[in-house]
Structure 1
Amino acid sequence: MRFSSFASIATLVASALAHSTFQQLWINGVDAGTSCARLPTSNSPIGTQASNLACNTYTSSSNVCSIKPGDKVTVEMHQQPNQRTCSNEAIGGQHYGPVLVYMGAVADAKSANPASVGWFKVSESGLVSNNPDYFAVQVLNDNCGHYTFTVPDVAPGDYLIRAEVIALHVASSSGGAQHYPGCFQVTVGGSGTARPATVKFPGAYSNSDPGILVNIHQSLATYKIPGPTPYGFTAPPIATTAWQPKATWNTALQPASVPTTTPAPGATGIGNA
């Protein structure tokens, strides 16, 4: 993508007005709202080496959502608490960059310390097209802040889900990348056996990683998504033709209310993003 100097200045100004958080969760298209979210207490960005990089600063939840391998789980991001409208971008201000999802096995999802959790990546999307450049955050905005992943064949037990946007609009200098993480408390059923290799936050990224230290105000042929290789998932190759913005999430069915009660296991709902 190419920007004039005026546009770049405008991006910096807008950055102060476009912070966001992951707030809501869907399970197989069923709205779990904020019922099992560790709701962030701030929508401000977090640095690559910050002590709260794992799950942000948050208010604890007393609930745990039930999922199983093969389920379609959707994380939802918006700019303000309890916001669900599709008339606003999920994260504005040209905060372009990748969307990533991790999981971490824990003894108790309600009390686990995120800094002590070992995390494995389960999904990612970075530069989806390079002609012209179009990032996963733009796809997230096209879908009213929704991003869906498939729960891999992990062993049963309690887990935290960690969703993250990395905004790269000022990442051309060290320390400029902005992280927007949020976590959800779940218990995984089924009969999976996998226990993937893990990383810690902070520690999984460095300020010099090519996907962290990058100038996106130029045309990029490639982009290396930060962090480990996802377990059980391979992102599609970068398209070399213009990306056609489209919503795979049914925005017409986007609710205005925010449930605070966990859905019943096995319930079905409106679809995926």
Structure 2
Amino acid sequence: MRFLLAASLITSATTVVAHSTFQQLWVGDTDHAGSCARQPPSNSPVTSVSSQDMRCNVGGGAGVSGICEAAAGSKMTVEMHAQPNDRSCSNEAIGGNHFGPVMVYMSKVDDATTADGSGSWFKVSEEGYNDGVWGTDSLNANCGKHEFTVPDLAPGDYLVRAEAIALHTAGSPGGAQFYMTCFQVTITGSGSMNPQGVSFPGAYSANDPGILINIYQDFGEYIIPGPPVV
């Protein structure tokens, strides 16, 4: 009995350590740290694709005071780590065999500090599975960082939704783990794009081939969930 209890505690501890959150945002070479992040209350995942928590994670519908500014066409980087304020590159960004894709969405809003994420989301970046490498593998190899280019968007306030999906237990419905954080940004410049997108919840189905999948058998080409990148 003691052995079983100890094993259970070890498994539980390992699972928690393997969980993670996107915490920081870079614009170009400027590190804004967590100043404009709607930080989740814990590093636990969302597991129901029909939950409103799919928008910006648990409690993510409430804004924070900080807004990060970026020009249309500039480089932006989201950064993930397992524990709050631990940015050590010697620790995996998301460990425990939490393999899966990494995606970034944006949503135009009237006020990034008050928007609840119920608007339209368009995808601006994605990395799935290529030659044995998952998007989460790239996060671990790059100190938790995923860089993308901001499209030539019309100026204004936006939410940036960074997401990783862990598929290590995704062989049955409800097994996929969704890790997301929303960042509040203002886009400047003279861009004109105003892409239409999808809603969260609604963008994903529990039976989507990129969500309900056994990654430990031959699955052929991996189909990244959600719409194509704009």
Q: Are 2:113 and 1:110 equivalent residues in the alignment? A: yes
Counterpart-to-counterpart distance in 1, 2:11 and 2:218: 17
Q: How many aligned positions are there? A: 218
| Comparing 140-149 and 219-228, the one that deviates more | 219-228
Aligned to 1:90: 93
Which residue does the alignment assign to 1:144?
Answer: 143
Q: Which residue does the alignment assign to 2:195? A: 196
Distance 1:218 1:14 in 2: 24
Q: Report the Cα offset of residue 157 of structure 1.
A: 0.5
Distance in 1 of aligned mates of 2:104 and 2:32: 18
Q: Deviations over 1:39-80 (max 9, x none)?
A: 111110102222211101247421111111111100000011
**CA positional deviation for 1:12:** 9.0
Distance, in Å, in 2 between the alignment partners of 1:118 and 1:11 is 39
RMSD after superposition: 1.6
C-alpha distance in 2 between matches for 1:11 and 1:135: 24
Superposition pairs of residues 3-82 of structure 1, within 5 angstroms = 14-47=14-47, 48-57=49-58, 58=60, 60-82=63-85
What TM-score do you get using the length of structure 1 for normalisation?
A: 0.77
Distance 2:223 2:199 in 1: 19
Structure 1 residue 11: deviation in Å?
8.9
**What is the match of residue 175 of structure 1?**
174
Q: Equivalents in 1 of 2:215, 2:15: separation in Å?
A: 15
On the 8 A contact 2:63/2:116 being kept in 1, the answer is no
Q: 2:103 aligns with which of 97, 100, 105?
A: 100
One-letter amino acid of the counterpart of residue 25, structure 2: L
**Cα distance, 1:117–1:63 mapped onto 2, change above 3 Å:** same
The CA distance in 2 between the partners of 1:11 and 1:220, in whole Å, is 27
**CA–CA distance in 2 between the matches of 1:151 and 1:124?**
13
Structure number with greater CO (CA < 8 Å, separation at least 6) is 1
Secondary structure of 1:17's match?
helix
Q: 1:212 to 1:40 in 2, by over 3 A?
A: same
Cα displacement (A) at 1:16: 3.9
Q: Give 1:154 deviation, angstroms.
A: 1.1
CA distance in 1, matches of 2:171, 2:133: 18
In structure 1, distance between residues paired with 2:121 and 2:11: 32
Query: Residues 42, 13 of structure 1: CA spacing in aligned structure 2 closer, same or farther, 3 A cutoff?
Result: closer
Following superposition, which runs of at least 4 residues in structure 1 exceed 2 angstroms of deviation? 10-17, 57-60
Q: Distance in 1 between matches of 2:154 and 2:63?
A: 24
Equivalent pair of 2:68/2:185 in contact (CA under 8 Å): yes
How far apart, in 1, do the equivalents of 2:116 and 2:99 lie?
A: 29
With normalisation by structure 2, the TM-score equals 0.91
- Matched residue SS, 1:92: coil
- Give unmatched runs, 5+ long, in structure 1: 1-9, 232-273
Partner in structure 2 of residue 185 of structure 1 = 184
Asked if 1:229 is matched to 2:228, the reply is yes
The code of the aligned residue for 1:69 comes to A
Structure 2 partner of 1:219? 218
Q: Distance in 1 between matches of 2:216 and 2:12?
A: 12
Q: Structure 1 pair 167/135, CA: closer, same or farther in 2 (3 Å)? A: same
Q: Name which of structure 1's ranges 11-20 and 89-98 shifts more when overlaid on structure 2.
A: 11-20
Q: How far apart, CA to CA, are the structure 1 residues paired with 2:213 and 2:219?
A: 10
Alpha carbons 1:94, 1:169 under 8 Å: kept: yes
